[in-house]
Amino acid sequence: MPTYTTNYNLAKPLVNSAVDQDLWGNELNSDLDIIDTTMKTISDAVPTAAAVAALVYPIGSLYWNKTNATNPATLLGFGTWVAITDRFIVARGSTYTSTGGAAQVTLSISNMPAHDHDFFANNSSGGTTGTFTKPTSILGADTTTTVTATEAIQSVGSGTPFDIIPPYQAVYCWERTA
């Protein structure tokens, strides 16, 4: 009679046994069927790399890569991915709930803090109408220029937009949508 393995109870052949010679064909065939069934069960239970990645990257997940612009569907073998371009990513909360912002802004009067523009001048007879003399520098240099009242306080600035972008590192970013 044969002995059996510990884990899978497979029959071990008896060496030089005339009694068991005729049993080995059936024993080996039976053991090969057991091995085959066990291997198939294990194979079916082991998920594919794509199945594992799909668990790691559920719909709504982001995939980032610093140097490779390839669509993650090609790299990972699953899903529908849409590139996110020209956007900063910010953690969702009560203030930031969707998309928004601008790369540049133009400052308007309502964005400036409250302030005054002082104008110190008098006309040649000491009055407040007519032609005024104003200093040519903010520090009140000795040289003065004669101007009319409407020229004395002028608009300044060009309205040129300015960047509000913090320091950044550009990467390829994709969102899984299906």
Strand, coil or helix: 5: coil
**Residue ranges per structural domain of the chain:** 3-45, 49-105+162-176, 109-152
What value does the mean pLDDT of the chain take?
Answer: 78
Strands (E), 6-160: 11-12, 62-65, 81-84, 104-105, 122-123, 131-135, 144-148
Round to whole Å and give the CA distance between 34 and 28.
Answer: 10
pLDDT at 155: 63
pLDDT at 136: 54
Phi then psi dihedrals of residue 52, to 5 deg: -65, -45
Give me the amino acid identity at 34: I
Give me the amino acid identity at 120: F
pLDDT at 22: 63
Q: What is the pLDDT of residues 109-156, one digit of tens each?
A: 888 888 766 555 555 555 555 555 555 555 555 555 555 555 445 567
pLDDT at 141: 52
pLDDT at 73: 95
pLDDT at 37: 87
pLDDT at 171 over 90: yes
pTM of the model: 0.52
Strand, coil or helix: 95: coil
End-to-end CA distance of the chain: 59
